[in-house]
Amino acid sequence: MLKQIAVGGMVVAAALGTAGVAAASGGGGESAQAGGSTARSFARTTAVPGLTKCDGGAQKATYNRIVNEFTIVPEGPDVTLPGTDLVVKGPARGRDTLNVTFSTEDQLRGNASHDEFDWAELEVWVDGRPIQPFGPSSSPMAVTGSPTYAMNAAQFCTRVGPGLHRIKVVTRVVDNGNDDALSAWFDDYDLRVEQAD
């Protein structure tokens, strides 16, 4: 499917897909962000739910991809943010740790003031699959739900083996409210990948 996206004030066509990720929750009420049944109270639990360990050793390389132009992403299926597609080489043998940080100035546009449960989701994919932390469609990671400008960041981690590995930052805009004409605005963003033994 082709979708038009504004990049740095220009409209470009981008191929969109949903491979490797569960569809975003569109009905509201199920996600933790929307106050649904998957929400948990940490005050009532002693275990750390959903804990994933992703440890590495000595740092081998650092990659930075910085985009100083804005991108507007419309509501709909997954979009790879322009400039965040990066290929790294894995180790000759064994496994390396990839620690990925993504920071962006962002804003959710078009949501009504009383719509508290609209947002732009964010994932980092390696080789076509989301890496930790990511949630099922019932508990997505939101990078913004605010109509005001903010600088937000998230960190992700995975381990990779030999060969080439493609990293990309994927977002989607979700309307759980009144079918507003939503879009997400991203500017001055930075993808940083630290590769370690």
* Closest C-alpha among 135, 122, 112, 134 to residue 31: 135
CA 83/CA 106 separation, integer angstroms: 16
pLDDT score for 134: 82
Q: How far apart are the first and last CA of the chain?
A: 39
Rounded to an integer, the average pLDDT of 23-37 is: 49
**Res. 114: pLDDT tops 50:** yes
pLDDT score for 121: 92
CATH number of 2-14+57-196: 2.60.120.660
pLDDT category of residue 26 using cuts at 50, 70 and 90? very low
pLDDT score for 170: 95
**Res. 165: pLDDT tops 80:** yes
Q: For the CA atoms of the chain, what is the radius of gyration?
A: 17
CA 73/CA 120 separation, integer angstroms: 9
